[in-house]
Copies of this chain bind each other. A is one copy, B any other.
């Protein structure tokens, strides 16, 4: 995005610096949203023009990246958000949100606590996997084949006794969300070098001698890292995509805790029983 300096100086402070403390410039710049009376421009577009014309996912992409996504990128990006929307009461972030809710705190306090629980071991793999894929692709640019780069990277992980970022899951041995996201990338012809690399790594991982006992399937973080890498997202925003996507789930859990449970209860995540709708399929008209 070309960043232009505003020609208007209407908002520039012209008086003397009010204090000796701080060496900040008299003005500072932001390129996200322009606010004037009765006008809100998101990355230059009137927000009321976006309403009903861009999806929420496309608007998130615009807000974060500065430009509109193509329709296919918008669709794939939206699917990545939908994939992450909730994972039941198994993640500690959700249980943190519920522990705050049980004290009678507001939904927003519960959500903030949940967001703080997206630590290094939870939701943090998207950024790590994006860097991991970039390192592998840097090897390819130096002349290595995809296969050789993947094998070297996995060997390094095994030697260091650590799981490659974006692979393996506490619960799932084959993550249906990852499979679907990578399949969509393929169908939408958006599978670039990051997706190609994550698939190559997956084959190398599956060929390990102990793959049957210790499967390391591509997980959702790995699939999102690959498709967002191909979309050009910077790694640090990777974890933020998970955050954005999971907030609705945190809201649902905080609200359910408040409305269905006694206050000040002792919450054991392992004794939860699902009593929602039984398994069902989308109606034909939504497919």
Binary flags per residue of A130-166, CB closer than 8 Å to B gives 1, else 0? 0000000000000000000000000000000000000
B-contacting residues, A93-118, CB 8 Å: 93, 95-96, 99-113, 115-118
A176 close to B (CB within 8 Å): yes
From B18, B107, B172, B244, contact of A240 by CB (8 A): B107
A15 B12 Cβ-Cβ under 8 A: no
A278 B51 Cβ-Cβ under 8 A: no
Chain B residues near A258: list those with CB within 8 A.
236
B248 A18 Cβ-Cβ under 8 A: no
How far is it, in angstroms, between the C-alpha of A170 and the C-alpha of B124 when the chains are bound? Answer: 32
How far is it, in angstroms, between the C-alpha of A209 and the C-alpha of B177 when the chains are bound? Answer: 59
A83 close to B (CB within 8 Å): yes
Interface residues on A, range: 35 or more
- Which of A13, A45, A92 lies at the interface centre, i.e. has the most chain B CB atoms within 10 A of its CB? A92
CB distance from A207 to the nearest CB of B (A): 21
A232 close to B (CB within 8 Å): no
CB distance from A139 to the nearest CB of B (A): 27
B176 A46 Cβ-Cβ under 8 A: yes
A75 close to B (CB within 8 Å): yes
From B21, B47, B96, contact of A99 by CB (8 A): B96
A170 B270 Cβ-Cβ under 8 A: no
B53 A21 Cβ-Cβ under 8 A: no
How far is it, in angstroms, between the C-alpha of A150 and the C-alpha of B42 when the chains are bound? Answer: 34
CB distance from A99 to the nearest CB of B (A): 4
CB distance from A36 to the nearest CB of B (A): 8
B269 A3 Cβ-Cβ under 8 A: no
Q: A32-B88, A105-B116, A175-B38 are in contact. Are A240 and B261 (CB under 8 A)?
A: no
Chain B residues near A266: list those with CB within 8 A.
21-22, 24, 90, 92, 95, 268-270
- Which of A33, A79, A121 lies at the interface centre, i.e. has the most chain B CB atoms within 10 A of its CB? A33
B92 A116 Cβ-Cβ under 8 A: no
Binary flags per residue of A234-269, CB closer than 8 Å to B gives 1, else 0? 001101100111011101111110101111111111
Chain B residues near A106: list those with CB within 8 A.
119
CB distance from A145 to the nearest CB of B (A): 31
CB distance from A53 to the nearest CB of B (A): 6
A251 B261 Cβ-Cβ under 8 A: no
How far is it, in angstroms, between the C-alpha of A6 and the C-alpha of B16 when the chains are bound? Answer: 20
Closest A-B pairs by Cβ, 8 of them = A15-B15, A103-B119, A31-B276, A104-B120, A44-B277, A105-B119, A268-B268, A13-B18
